[in-house]
Amino acid sequence: MHEMGIANSILEGVAKELRSRPGSRAIQVGVRIGELAGVDPGSLSFAFEALTIDTPFAALKLDVEYVAPRSRCRECNREFEVRNYELFCPACGSLNSTRISGDELEFKYLEIDEAEDEAVKCCDLEVNKK
Amino acid sequence: MNRVPMEGKVLNENARVAAELRERFSERHVFVVNLISSPGSGKTTLLEKTLEAFPRDSRVAVLTGDLQTENDANRLKRYGFPVKQIVTGGTCHLDARMIEKHIADWDLSQLDLLIVENVGNLVCPSSYDLGETAKIVLLSVTEGEDKPLKYPSIFFKSELMVLTKTDLLPYVPFDSSLAIANARLVHPEMEVVKVACLAGDGLREWMSWLEQRRQIFLSRLAQPVGQGI
């Protein structure tokens, strides 16, 4: 569905980051997606591959951290991870909680090969000429 | 090899435009709601009844999204309020840029309420902030009570669930209290209004929810910066 647009936005984010690091090559990009974000990790990986194939980003890997929602208990203030919609506070058993996260769709990190310094590049050129 | 931290939302560009829109709406005191549901759960019918109920001098406008056709806009224009169709041409959701483009020639200072009817889709619209004050999800009684559990994203992000077509309850095996309980599993603070648009039931509650929520929006605008929506 809309995963293609999201994959494209990830690539735009990577391209922007690389512009501030001339000569660097992106190897892997990490993103965090909440289970309530409405984004399917499988579809996203598929869209990402489809968009990068035969492009300069072909070797770029996508690392998705799929995270469960978290709630905070209104009785004892404990924060806890919500699995299978079970809203009981693990500390006090109260059902009175408020959802504090779950719809993340954000960047985490970018793994890059740093630009080599000019001297090395020049040598490489010399070698290539031979 | 080096790992550098990257921050920010993936849909950064949409988030940026949405934040600009939200600021414009706030400056002009326009309360904006984003209606989201599956196709056929009654968004346009609810809008027809809503526009019918507003006095003719109300400062209300509607943007309605669909993949194709101007049908919805034509249905809604009959009530005399400004209505624009957003034809997405295949895109399964509205995004902030589409809103920006379609309100470009509207004078926002002449509006109190802007209702955005999203593309009929329970999944994709939930990822795209349109600069709205509140998202509202519709669930019709001809659907399953477990829709909130199957499509949690939009129920998580909506302030209000409008349960529609309740006049059909005698004919369908739909348990309203189970549907509401499911919605509150995903979003404990979910508010609920039940309507039967064709029978006219619940419309008063719906209209008063809109007005009360608009008053909250206006009172938050009056608070110091940082205390807003």
Nearest-by-CA chain B residue for A5: B11
Cα-atom radius of gyration of chain B, to the nearest Å?
Answer: 18
Contacts of B219 (CB under 8 A, 6+ apart): none
| Mean per-residue pLDDT of chain B | 94
Does residue B7 belong to any structural domain of this protein?
no
Domain that holds residue B114: 15-219
Q: What is the largest CA-CA distance in chain B?
A: 66
CA B109, B110, B113, B119: dihedral to nearest 10 degrees? -90
Does residue B156 belong to any structural domain of this protein?
yes
pLDDT attached to residue A116: 59
Q: Which of B160, B77, B64, B73 is nearest to B119 (CA)?
A: B64
Give the pairing of strands B191-194 and B60-66.
unpaired
CATH code of the domain containing A117: 3.30.2320.50
CB < 8 Å to B123, chain A? 1-2, 38
Residues in chain A: 130
A22 touching B (Cβ < 8 Å): no
Confidence grade of residue B224 (pLDDT, cut at 50, 70, 90): low
Residue pLDDT, tens place only, B171-209: 999 999 999 999 999 998 999 999 999 999 999 999 999
pTM equals: 0.84
Does ipTM top 0.95? no
Does residue A80 belong to any structural domain of this protein?
no
Query: What is the number of structural domains in chain A?
Result: 1
Decide: B119 and B93 in contact? Cβ < 8 Å.
yes
Residue pLDDT, tens place only, B37-66: 999 999 999 999 999 999 999 999 999 999
Shortest Cα distance from A68 to chain B (angstroms)?
12
Contacts of B95 (CB under 8 A, 6+ apart): B14, B17, B128, B130
Shortest Cα distance from B93 to chain A (angstroms)?
8
Of A27, A31, A36, the CB nearest to B153: A36
Residues of chain A short of pLDDT 70, as ranges, are: 1, 115-130
Give the pairing of strands B113-117 and A105-113.
unpaired
Residue pLDDT, tens place only, B98-152: 999 999 999 999 999 999 999 999 999 999 999 999 999 999 999 999 999 999 9
Rounded Cα gap, residues A112 and A3, in angstroms? 24
Tell me what the mean pLDDT of segment B150-164 comes to: 95
Shortest Cα distance from A1 to chain B (angstroms)?
7
CB < 8 Å to B154, chain A? 38
Does residue B120 belong to any structural domain of this protein?
yes
Does residue B83 belong to any structural domain of this protein?
yes
Does residue A84 belong to any structural domain of this protein?
no
Does residue A32 belong to any structural domain of this protein?
yes
Does residue B41 belong to any structural domain of this protein?
yes
Nearest-by-CA chain B residue for A97: B188
Rounded Cα gap, residues B141 and B223, in angstroms? 39
CB < 8 Å to A82, chain B? none
Q: Which of B89, B100, B85 is nearest to B17 (CA)?
A: B100
CATH code of the domain containing B211: 3.40.50.300
Does residue A95 belong to any structural domain of this protein?
no
Nearest-by-CA chain B residue for A21: B4
Does residue B225 belong to any structural domain of this protein?
no
A-B contacts at Cβ under 8 angstroms: 100
Interface of A with B in 62-121 (CB under 8 A): 69, 71, 85, 87, 96-99, 102-103, 105-114
pLDDT attached to residue B226: 56
Rounded Cα gap, residues B115 and B102, in angstroms? 13
Query: What is the number of structural domains in chain B?
Result: 1
By CB neighbour count within 10 A (0-12 exposed, 13-18 middle, 19+ buried), where does A60 fall? buried
CB < 8 Å to B151, chain A? 38
Domain that holds residue A124: 3-70+101-129
